[in-house]
Amino acid sequence: MRLFEAIVEANHRALAGDAKAGLHPADFADELPVAALTCIDARLNPLLPEVLGLPKEQFIWLRNAGNIITGPTSSTMRSLALACAVKGARQIAIIGHNDCQVCKTSAMKLDDAFRALGIQRASLPENLTEFFGLFASERQNVIKAVDFVRHSPLIGPKVPVHGLLVDIGTGKLEWVVNGYQTLETATAPPPPSLGELAGQGMDALKSFAEFKIGEMKFPDTKIGELATEGKDWLVHEIHQIEIRPPQPPQPTPPPSVAPKIPLPPPIRVTPVVRKWKK
């Protein structure tokens, strides 16, 4: 069992009332520490890293509003990259949570909030949603952030990147993105490219070009022998035709005649003679 498989299992068992549920970090020393990005929501303070079962010294905690990543080379990505390169993080987790206030904030609400702080709209970026990374779904925000990290040139290809959601009220973890499965898919050998396929075709043509017709071996039969054999076969066929008795002509079947349909007898009409009164 790998680290986050054990983390999620222990979390669910503990919430189900199993007093013996727990994580033994020493069993996963080669997968620690973990770099995690979460929201700045203060309600997370008593939950992390306890709900993961990790000691604080093995938990590199990065935070921003809404646990948002806006691009594969953003400032948050630089922090995650340094957590791996400098602090030695072996795995990355993007941890969102329910009831996120950033999720409930629209561009219009954000404009009003800045105006209340004395910041005019002209001083803000034109696209507030894009600049601040506003989102309408905590789950989709986690999935998007994981995708940015996984495809970032700043993160090594062997670092698993997980996506989780934590319930603020209960501390229950939901494994949204399994970083182990994503990593296995990403490291699978890619299909051959067009260049490789073209190279295979050139190899086939090369082997054909190396073919030497002089090395082909034909049957040792001579042309005269083939002509003699053909002549003998023709004589045999003619002889069979000559000795075959003529067949009598087959009688021609009479043409089919349509059956005659009897006609009904003619109808006789009796003339009516009228007497005229004088």
Residue 148's domain is classified under what CATH number?
3.40.1050.10
Residue 171 lies in a domain: yes
Beta bridge partners of 173: 166
Amino acid type, 10: A
Residue 277 lies in a domain: no
Measured torsion, CA atoms of residues 168, 173, 177, 180, in degrees rounded to the nearest 10 = 140
d(CA 174, CA 164): 5
Residue 80 lies in a domain: yes
Residue 46 lies in a domain: yes
Domain that holds residue 33: 3-98+135-184
Going across the sheet that includes 59-63, the strands are 59-63, 34-38, 91-97, 161-166, 173-177
Q: What is the pLDDT along the chain (278 residues), one digit of tens a residue?
A: 999 999 999 999 999 999 999 999 999 999 999 999 999 999 999 999 999 999 999 999 999 999 999 999 999 999 999 999 999 999 999 999 999 999 999 999 999 999 999 999 999 999 999 999 999 999 999 999 999 999 999 999 999 999 999 999 999 999 999 999 987 776 555 555 556 655 565 565 555 455 555 555 545 555 455 555 555 665 566 566 555 556 666 666 666 555 566 666 666 655 555 555 54
Q: Give me the count of residues in the chain.
A: 278
d(CA 176, CA 195): 37
Q: For strands 173-177 and 161-166, give the pairing.
A: antiparallel
State whether residue 154 is helix, strand or coil: coil
Residue 254 lies in a domain: no
Q: Tell me the pTM.
A: 0.67
| Tokens 């925000």 found at | 141
Residue 162 lies in a domain: yes
Residue 108 lies in a domain: no
Residue 227 lies in a domain: no
> How many domains, in total, are found in the chain?
1
Q: Name the phi and psi angles at 105, rounded to 5.
A: -100, 125
CA distances from 217 to 167, 221, 227, 264 (A): 79, 12, 21, 88
The DSSP secondary-structure symbol of 74 reads: S
d(CA 150, CA 144): 10
